[in-house]
Structure 1
Amino acid sequence: MLEVLLVLLGYVLGSVPTGILVGRAYGVDVRKVGSGNIGTANVMRAAGKGAAALTMLGDMLKGVAPVLLARALGAGPWVLAAVALAAVVGHCWPVFLRFRGGKGVATGAGTSIALAPPVGLGMFALWWVVALASRYTSLAAMVVTVVSPFAFLLSGQPLPYVLYTVVGGAAVLWRHRENARALLRGTERKFGGRSGGGG
């Protein structure tokens, strides 16, 4: 029963719309600006770097908190992986927004850092490298999503964690399908520009 409650908590925390809450604090409805997405990149477009930083931090904490809580309560690898997946699913399909949420990038980063800190931090650093080099946060997200399962596997992480990166990664890639098409067409918004996806 505790395991089920932990997974449900992961989903509920993941569903908290950080970007919308931060946007409101800055007097902006981020859903009416840019791509309309509630993630970090679009919040930057709508309300600036400070709001974007708060959104990224909040979205990452949505992934970190439930996983660390579950671990503190003695949950094993399978439950921890399920809690992590629930947080990402909650962010992508939040109950509070009629299941229309973000793309799972920052929340996924938070779960990865909580599950396996060295690997998760490495993937977070890779995201920044690709994002800053290409100016496409969506491309950075997709690169990290593809690389993560291999990083978890080759670093000897438990099988449930590896499977989580595959299933959770599939959700993130699905949420980025329009970004992938835009990248191929050359119409994807760039990070920090007026015309950036991936948030």
Structure 2
Amino acid sequence: MLTRGICLLIGYAFGLIQSAVIYCNMKGVDIRSVGSGNAGTTNTLRALGPKAGFTVLFADMLKCIAAVLVSSVICRMILGDSYSDMKYLLKIYTAAGCVLGHDFPFYTNFRGGKGIACTAGYIVAFKWTFIIGGLLSFLIPFNITHYVSLGSLCLYAVFFIQLIVEGQMGLLGNISQANLIEIYIIAFAMTALAFYQHRTNIGRLLKGEERKTYIWKKNKVD
């Protein structure tokens, strides 16, 4: 339990780095007061353009990758030879902490982003086969519809499904079934949180009122 707690805390600490807020403040914009008010990639893209959007995207991805790397080093030193059985479980605890820090930073009244860019970073750090699934699950629906929310939800759904498939097929290495089940539970909780964070987007999608987002064309901010 100690290592799980360490990973959550490390992830949460890295998640507190609000890339959108920092970058947009440097540009003289309070991202939480424009557009959707969300401190994330999509709102930054709409407000300040593709360069700003991609900067925030990669910064949020990198903070989760960095969190996973730091926690991996620390946990490897603590656990020694038993680390291999815990590796993917501790990675997902770190990612969960990072998403929570990003979504609910204590110093901004728990008002942050929606955690999708953090999750993209986690997918990169988790296992290379998930990168392919992640790219396809986001890019295909987004390029067809231009709905970031739809692509984001597909990203989470496909990740969760692929995680169970690879886990049950033994493709995640020598992991006990108990640890696999715990991984699935954390992944399900993260997926449920993502859907909850997108609840208003889901409502607009169902009504056909969701805003489209374009990378190289001017977007409406409000």
Q: Same-fold call, TM > 0.5?
A: yes
After superposition, the Cα gap between the structure-2 partners of 1:72 and 1:125, relative to the gap in structure 1 and judged at 3 Å, is farther
2:10 and 2:71 in contact (8 A); partners too: no
TM (norm. structure 1) is: 0.89
RMSD over aligned Cα atoms: 1.9
**Identity percentage of aligned residues:** 30
* CA distances 1:13-53 after superposition (whole Å, capped 9, x unpaired): 11211111111122211112211111111101111111100
1:26 and 1:51 in contact (8 A); partners too: no
2:195 maps to which of 173, 178, 187: 173
Q: Find the aligned partners of 1:136 and 1:91 in 2 and give their Cα distance.
A: 22
Alignment of 1:1-199 (within 5 A): 1=2, 3-73=4-74, 74=76, 76=86, 77-156=88-167, 157=172, 159=180, 160-192=182-214, 193-194=219-220
Larger Cα-atom Rg: 2
Aligned residues: 196
After superposition, the Cα gap between the structure-2 partners of 1:2 and 1:165, relative to the gap in structure 1 and judged at 3 Å, is closer
Runs of 4+ in 1 over 6 A off after TM superposition: none
* CA distances 1:172-199 after superposition (whole Å, capped 9, x unpaired): 1110001000111222111123169xxx
* CA distances 1:155-188 after superposition (whole Å, capped 9, x unpaired): 2335244333211111111100010001112221
Q: Find the aligned partners of 1:96 and 1:117 in 2 and give their Cα distance.
A: 34
Q: Find the aligned partners of 2:65 and 2:21 in 1 and give their Cα distance.
A: 20
After superposition, the Cα gap between the structure-2 partners of 1:175 and 1:107, relative to the gap in structure 1 and judged at 3 Å, is same
Q: In structure 1, the residue corresponding to 2:59 is in which secondary structure?
A: helix
- Report the alpha carbon displacement of residue 129 of structure 1 after superposing the two structures with TM: 2.1
TM (norm. structure 2) is: 0.81
